[in-house]
Amino acid sequence: MVKTMRIIRRLKGRETYLYLQHSYRRDGKVITRERYLGKTVPKNIEEIKSKLLRDAQDSLRAKLEQIRSDFQKEWRTIPPSGKERTLREIAITFTYNTNAIEGSTINLEETRTILEDQIAPNKPLKDVRETEAHAKVFFEMLRTQEPVSNELLLKWHEEIFKETKPDLAGKYRSWSVRVGPHLAPDWQKIRALMDRLIVFVNESTMNPVEVAVRAHYIFEKIHPFGDGNGRIGRLLMNFILWKNGYPMFITENTKKKAYYEALNKTEEGFRNYLVKRYIATNRCKPREV
Protein backbone atom coordinates (compact mmCIF):
# COMPACT_ATOMS: atom_id res chain seq x y z
CA MET A 1 0.00 0.00 0.00
CA VAL A 2 1.81 3.08 -1.30
CA LYS A 3 0.78 6.13 0.73
CA THR A 4 1.00 9.87 0.16
CA MET A 5 -0.34 12.59 2.42
CA ARG A 6 -0.42 16.28 1.60
CA ILE A 7 -2.26 19.49 2.36
CA ILE A 8 -4.09 20.89 -0.65
CA ARG A 9 -5.69 24.31 -1.15
CA ARG A 10 -8.99 24.99 -2.86
CA LEU A 11 -10.18 28.43 -3.84
CA LYS A 12 -13.89 29.12 -3.34
CA GLY A 13 -14.76 32.64 -4.33
CA ARG A 14 -12.10 34.77 -2.73
CA GLU A 15 -11.48 32.37 0.13
CA THR A 16 -8.88 29.59 0.31
CA TYR A 17 -9.72 26.41 2.20
CA LEU A 18 -7.32 23.67 3.27
CA TYR A 19 -7.80 19.91 3.08
CA LEU A 20 -5.61 17.03 4.21
CA GLN A 21 -5.53 14.50 1.40
CA HIS A 22 -4.45 10.91 1.98
CA SER A 23 -4.00 8.70 -1.10
CA TYR A 24 -2.94 5.07 -1.18
CA ARG A 25 -3.01 2.20 -3.63
CA ARG A 26 -4.81 -0.99 -2.68
CA ASP A 27 -5.90 -3.92 -4.84
CA GLY A 28 -4.72 -2.04 -7.92
CA LYS A 29 -6.87 1.01 -7.20
CA VAL A 30 -5.95 4.42 -5.83
CA ILE A 31 -8.08 5.34 -2.83
CA THR A 32 -8.19 8.99 -1.76
CA ARG A 33 -9.62 10.35 1.47
CA GLU A 34 -9.80 13.96 2.55
CA ARG A 35 -10.28 15.80 5.79
CA TYR A 36 -11.33 19.46 5.84
CA LEU A 37 -8.90 21.55 7.90
CA GLY A 38 -10.26 25.10 7.64
CA LYS A 39 -8.56 28.24 6.43
CA THR A 40 -5.36 27.63 8.38
CA VAL A 41 -3.40 24.54 9.34
CA PRO A 42 -4.67 23.44 12.78
CA LYS A 43 -2.26 22.99 15.65
CA ASN A 44 -3.17 19.30 15.98
CA ILE A 45 -2.34 18.52 12.35
CA GLU A 46 -0.06 15.61 13.33
CA GLU A 47 -2.86 14.05 15.34
CA ILE A 48 -5.20 14.39 12.35
CA LYS A 49 -2.60 12.75 10.09
CA SER A 50 -2.18 9.89 12.53
CA LYS A 51 -5.92 9.27 12.62
CA LEU A 52 -6.11 9.07 8.82
CA LEU A 53 -3.27 6.57 8.82
CA ARG A 54 -4.91 4.51 11.57
CA ASP A 55 -8.17 4.43 9.62
CA ALA A 56 -6.36 3.08 6.56
CA GLN A 57 -4.52 0.50 8.67
CA ASP A 58 -7.76 -0.58 10.34
CA SER A 59 -9.28 -1.19 6.91
CA LEU A 60 -6.30 -3.34 5.87
CA ARG A 61 -6.34 -5.22 9.16
CA ALA A 62 -10.03 -5.98 8.70
CA LYS A 63 -9.34 -7.50 5.26
CA LEU A 64 -6.57 -9.68 6.65
CA GLU A 65 -8.71 -10.81 9.57
CA GLN A 66 -11.48 -11.70 7.12
CA ILE A 67 -9.04 -13.85 5.16
CA ARG A 68 -8.15 -15.68 8.36
CA SER A 69 -11.79 -16.11 9.37
CA ASP A 70 -12.80 -17.46 5.95
CA PHE A 71 -9.84 -19.84 5.87
CA GLN A 72 -10.53 -21.21 9.35
CA LYS A 73 -14.23 -21.63 8.56
CA GLU A 74 -13.37 -23.67 5.45
CA TRP A 75 -10.61 -25.63 7.17
CA ARG A 76 -12.92 -26.79 9.98
CA THR A 77 -15.25 -28.42 7.45
CA ILE A 78 -12.52 -30.62 5.96
CA PRO A 79 -12.21 -34.18 7.29
CA PRO A 80 -8.75 -35.29 8.51
CA SER A 81 -8.00 -37.23 5.32
CA GLY A 82 -8.88 -34.17 3.25
CA LYS A 83 -6.62 -31.95 5.34
CA GLU A 84 -3.77 -34.42 4.93
CA ARG A 85 -4.25 -34.47 1.15
CA THR A 86 -4.40 -30.67 0.99
CA LEU A 87 -1.21 -30.28 2.99
CA ARG A 88 0.55 -32.79 0.73
CA GLU A 89 -0.45 -30.70 -2.28
CA ILE A 90 0.80 -27.53 -0.59
CA ALA A 91 4.06 -29.29 0.28
CA ILE A 92 4.57 -30.31 -3.34
CA THR A 93 3.76 -26.87 -4.74
CA PHE A 94 5.72 -24.98 -2.10
CA THR A 95 8.75 -27.26 -2.36
CA TYR A 96 8.82 -27.02 -6.15
CA ASN A 97 8.49 -23.23 -6.26
CA THR A 98 10.87 -22.36 -3.43
CA ASN A 99 13.58 -24.64 -4.85
CA ALA A 100 12.99 -23.50 -8.45
CA ILE A 101 13.46 -19.87 -7.43
CA GLU A 102 16.93 -20.88 -6.22
CA GLY A 103 17.81 -22.67 -9.45
CA SER A 104 16.69 -26.27 -8.90
CA THR A 105 16.23 -28.25 -12.11
CA ILE A 106 13.35 -30.32 -10.67
CA ASN A 107 9.99 -29.40 -12.22
CA LEU A 108 6.57 -29.61 -10.58
CA GLU A 109 5.65 -33.08 -11.81
CA GLU A 110 9.08 -34.42 -10.92
CA THR A 111 8.64 -32.96 -7.43
CA ARG A 112 5.36 -34.84 -7.15
CA THR A 113 7.00 -38.08 -8.32
CA ILE A 114 9.86 -37.71 -5.84
CA LEU A 115 7.60 -36.98 -2.87
CA GLU A 116 4.67 -39.28 -3.63
CA ASP A 117 6.29 -42.21 -5.42
CA GLN A 118 9.88 -41.96 -4.15
CA ILE A 119 11.08 -42.15 -7.75
CA ALA A 120 14.01 -39.93 -8.64
CA PRO A 121 14.15 -38.37 -12.12
CA ASN A 122 17.33 -38.20 -14.16
CA LYS A 123 18.34 -34.90 -12.60
CA PRO A 124 21.25 -33.80 -10.38
CA LEU A 125 21.25 -35.79 -7.13
CA LYS A 126 21.71 -32.54 -5.19
CA ASP A 127 18.37 -31.21 -6.46
CA VAL A 128 16.61 -34.48 -5.66
CA ARG A 129 18.00 -34.59 -2.10
CA GLU A 130 17.05 -30.96 -1.42
CA THR A 131 13.53 -31.64 -2.71
CA GLU A 132 13.11 -34.55 -0.31
CA ALA A 133 14.64 -32.67 2.60
CA HIS A 134 12.61 -29.51 2.08
CA ALA A 135 9.32 -31.42 2.09
CA LYS A 136 10.35 -33.19 5.28
CA VAL A 137 11.14 -29.88 6.99
CA PHE A 138 7.85 -28.44 5.72
CA PHE A 139 5.86 -31.15 7.51
CA GLU A 140 7.98 -30.74 10.64
CA MET A 141 7.20 -27.02 10.49
CA LEU A 142 3.46 -27.74 10.46
CA ARG A 143 3.76 -29.85 13.61
CA THR A 144 6.09 -27.50 15.48
CA GLN A 145 4.58 -25.82 18.52
CA GLU A 146 7.72 -24.04 19.71
CA PRO A 147 8.26 -20.33 19.04
CA VAL A 148 10.70 -19.06 16.44
CA SER A 149 14.29 -19.26 17.68
CA ASN A 150 17.83 -19.40 16.36
CA GLU A 151 17.87 -23.09 17.20
CA LEU A 152 14.74 -23.77 15.15
CA LEU A 153 16.02 -21.93 12.06
CA LEU A 154 19.43 -23.58 12.32
CA LYS A 155 17.73 -26.98 12.60
CA TRP A 156 15.66 -26.37 9.46
CA HIS A 157 18.77 -25.31 7.56
CA GLU A 158 20.74 -28.35 8.70
CA GLU A 159 17.94 -30.75 7.74
CA ILE A 160 17.61 -29.30 4.23
CA PHE A 161 21.32 -29.01 3.39
CA LYS A 162 23.17 -31.60 5.49
CA GLU A 163 23.56 -33.96 2.51
CA THR A 164 24.20 -31.38 -0.22
CA LYS A 165 26.11 -28.62 1.60
CA PRO A 166 27.51 -30.26 4.76
CA ASP A 167 30.11 -27.52 5.24
CA LEU A 168 27.37 -24.86 5.48
CA ALA A 169 24.43 -26.78 6.92
CA GLY A 170 23.06 -25.59 10.24
CA LYS A 171 25.59 -22.77 10.71
CA TYR A 172 25.40 -19.03 10.35
CA ARG A 173 27.96 -17.66 7.91
CA SER A 174 31.38 -16.47 9.09
CA TRP A 175 32.27 -14.27 6.12
CA SER A 176 30.95 -11.20 4.31
CA VAL A 177 28.56 -11.53 1.37
CA ARG A 178 26.95 -9.28 -1.21
CA VAL A 179 23.54 -10.17 -2.66
CA GLY A 180 23.11 -8.16 -5.86
CA PRO A 181 23.32 -4.51 -4.83
CA HIS A 182 22.87 -5.37 -1.14
CA LEU A 183 25.90 -5.75 1.12
CA ALA A 184 24.73 -8.02 3.94
CA PRO A 185 25.69 -7.08 7.52
CA ASP A 186 29.07 -8.10 8.85
CA TRP A 187 28.98 -11.74 9.93
CA GLN A 188 29.97 -10.79 13.49
CA LYS A 189 26.64 -8.94 13.84
CA ILE A 190 24.47 -11.82 12.65
CA ARG A 191 23.62 -13.32 16.04
CA ALA A 192 22.59 -9.98 17.52
CA LEU A 193 20.51 -9.11 14.43
CA MET A 194 18.85 -12.52 14.46
CA ASP A 195 18.08 -12.18 18.17
CA ARG A 196 16.39 -8.86 17.44
CA LEU A 197 14.41 -10.38 14.57
CA ILE A 198 13.25 -13.26 16.76
CA VAL A 199 12.03 -10.87 19.45
CA PHE A 200 10.07 -9.00 16.77
CA VAL A 201 8.48 -12.20 15.46
CA ASN A 202 7.51 -13.53 18.88
CA GLU A 203 6.41 -10.28 20.53
CA SER A 204 5.11 -7.94 17.82
CA THR A 205 1.49 -6.77 18.13
CA MET A 206 1.19 -6.20 14.37
CA ASN A 207 -1.18 -8.31 12.32
CA PRO A 208 0.53 -11.70 11.76
CA VAL A 209 0.54 -11.23 7.98
CA GLU A 210 2.54 -8.03 8.41
CA VAL A 211 4.86 -9.76 10.87
CA ALA A 212 5.41 -12.66 8.45
CA VAL A 213 6.16 -10.40 5.48
CA ARG A 214 8.44 -8.05 7.41
CA ALA A 215 10.24 -10.98 9.07
CA HIS A 216 10.93 -12.48 5.65
CA TYR A 217 12.36 -9.19 4.38
CA ILE A 218 14.52 -8.58 7.46
CA PHE A 219 15.78 -12.17 7.38
CA GLU A 220 16.82 -11.86 3.73
CA LYS A 221 18.63 -8.59 4.41
CA ILE A 222 20.54 -10.15 7.32
CA HIS A 223 21.31 -13.09 5.02
CA PRO A 224 22.55 -15.18 7.95
CA PHE A 225 23.46 -18.36 6.05
CA GLY A 226 26.15 -18.99 3.48
CA ASP A 227 23.44 -20.42 1.17
CA GLY A 228 19.77 -21.31 1.39
CA ASN A 229 18.54 -18.02 2.84
CA GLY A 230 15.59 -17.73 0.46
CA ARG A 231 14.24 -21.15 1.33
CA ILE A 232 14.57 -20.64 5.08
CA GLY A 233 13.11 -17.13 4.80
CA ARG A 234 10.04 -18.41 2.96
CA LEU A 235 9.63 -21.23 5.49
CA LEU A 236 9.80 -18.66 8.29
CA MET A 237 7.14 -16.51 6.65
CA ASN A 238 4.78 -19.45 6.22
CA PHE A 239 5.44 -20.76 9.71
CA ILE A 240 4.28 -17.42 11.14
CA LEU A 241 1.17 -17.43 8.92
CA TRP A 242 0.24 -21.05 9.69
CA LYS A 243 0.90 -20.77 13.41
CA ASN A 244 -1.48 -17.79 13.58
CA GLY A 245 -4.26 -19.45 11.63
CA TYR A 246 -3.71 -17.79 8.25
CA PRO A 247 -3.43 -19.55 4.89
CA MET A 248 0.13 -19.97 3.69
CA PHE A 249 1.56 -18.01 0.77
CA ILE A 250 3.60 -19.60 -2.01
CA THR A 251 5.95 -17.34 -3.92
CA GLU A 252 5.65 -18.70 -7.45
CA ASN A 253 8.72 -19.25 -9.58
CA THR A 254 6.94 -17.57 -12.49
CA LYS A 255 6.85 -14.35 -10.44
CA LYS A 256 10.49 -14.59 -9.37
CA LYS A 257 11.52 -11.39 -11.18
CA ALA A 258 8.88 -9.25 -9.43
CA TYR A 259 9.67 -10.92 -6.11
CA TYR A 260 13.39 -10.14 -6.37
CA GLU A 261 12.66 -6.58 -7.49
CA ALA A 262 10.49 -6.14 -4.38
CA LEU A 263 13.26 -7.54 -2.17
CA ASN A 264 15.56 -4.84 -3.54
CA LYS A 265 13.16 -2.15 -2.33
CA THR A 266 12.81 -0.79 1.20
CA GLU A 267 11.05 -2.80 3.88
CA GLU A 268 7.88 -0.77 3.26
CA GLY A 269 8.14 -1.37 -0.48
CA PHE A 270 8.47 -5.13 -0.01
CA ARG A 271 5.67 -5.15 2.56
CA ASN A 272 3.37 -3.26 0.17
CA TYR A 273 4.12 -5.67 -2.68
CA LEU A 274 3.70 -8.91 -0.75
CA VAL A 275 0.67 -7.92 1.34
CA LYS A 276 -1.06 -6.83 -1.86
CA ARG A 277 -0.20 -10.20 -3.47
CA TYR A 278 -1.37 -12.06 -0.38
CA ILE A 279 -4.75 -10.34 -0.35
CA ALA A 280 -5.23 -10.76 -4.10
CA THR A 281 -4.32 -14.46 -3.95
CA ASN A 282 -6.72 -15.20 -1.11
CA ARG A 283 -9.57 -13.20 -2.63
CA CYS A 284 -9.36 -14.29 -6.24
CA LYS A 285 -7.84 -17.75 -6.25
CA PRO A 286 -9.89 -20.69 -4.89
CA ARG A 287 -8.04 -22.64 -2.24
CA GLU A 288 -7.72 -26.41 -2.41
CA VAL A 289 -9.08 -26.96 1.10
- The distance of Cα 118 from the centroid of its chain, to the nearest Å, equals 30
Both ends of the chain: CA-CA distance in Å? 28
Measured CA to CA in angstroms, residue 19 lies from 12, 49, 227 at distances of 13, 11, 51
Cα–Cα distance for residue pair 28/284, rounded to 1 Å:
13
Number of other residues whose CB lies within 10 A of the CB of residue 238: 24
Of 134, 157, 216, 223, the active-site residue reads: 223
Cβ atoms 216, 206 nearer than 8 A: no
Q: Based on the residue annotation, tell me whether 157 is a catalytic residue of this protein.
A: no
Q: Which residues contact 37 (CB under 8 A, 6 or more apart)?
A: 7, 17, 18, 19, 20, 45, 48
Residues belonging to the active site: 223
